[in-house]
Amino acid sequence: RKEVEQDPGPFNVPEGATVAFNCTYSNSASQSFFWYRQDCRKEPKLLMSVYSSGNEDGRFTAQLNRASQYISLLIRDSKLSDSATYLCVVNGRYTDKLIFGTGTRLQVFP
C-alpha cells in the first residue's frame, strides 16, 4: 500500500461548483498534513496546512479524519484559476520526511 494515496482524477467541474478531494495515508503516527497546488510545468506551492480541528481559508476548507486516516480538501465556488493538480502531503512512517501523493487533477470549465 502506498503511504499516501489520491484519486488522480481528472475532476472536470463547471465554474461555481463545489468539489472535494480525499487523500488517505497509511502511517497512523503522522502529525503533519498539507495540501499543495501544482500548476502545469511549475513547482508545487503550499495551498494550506491541515489542522486537527479542520481549517478554512476563503473558499478552501481542509479537514483531517485521524480515525479513518484521511484528509480532505473542499473548494467552493470554483474559479477557472483553480484548475491545477492538488497534492496531498503527509510525513512518512518512522520519520518526519514529507511524502507526496500523486495528485488530483482539477479542471474548471466555463
Partner 1 sequence: GAGVSQSPSNKVTEKGKDVELRCDPISGHTALYWYRQSLGQGLEFLIYFQGNSAPDKSGLPSDRFSAERTGGSVSTLTIQRTQQEDSAVYLCASSLRQGAGANVLTFGAGSRLTVL
Least separation in angstroms between residue 89's CB and partner 1 is: 8
Least separation in angstroms between residue 32's CB and partner 1 is: 5
Out of 13, 17, 74, 98, the residue judged to bind partner 1 by CB under 8 A: 98
Count of alpha carbons within 13 Å of 64, Cβ hemisphere only? Answer: 20
**Residue number with CB closer to partner 1 (72 or 102):** 102
Is 100 a binder of partner 1 (CB under 8 A)? Answer: yes
Say how far apart CA 9 and CA 2 lie, in whole Å: 17
Least separation in angstroms between residue 16's CB and partner 1 is: 28
Reduce the DSSP state of residue 81 to 3 states and report it: helix
Footprint (CB under 8 A) of partner 1, residues 35-74: 36, 42-46, 49
Out of 75, 99, 106, 108, the residue judged to bind partner 1 by CB under 8 A: 99
Say how far apart CA 60 and CA 68 lie, in whole Å: 21
Partners of 13 in the β-ladder: 108
Q: Long-range contact list for 56-60, CB < 8 A, 24+ apart?
A: 60/35
Least separation in angstroms between residue 30's CB and partner 1 is: 11
Cell numbers given for 102: 500523486
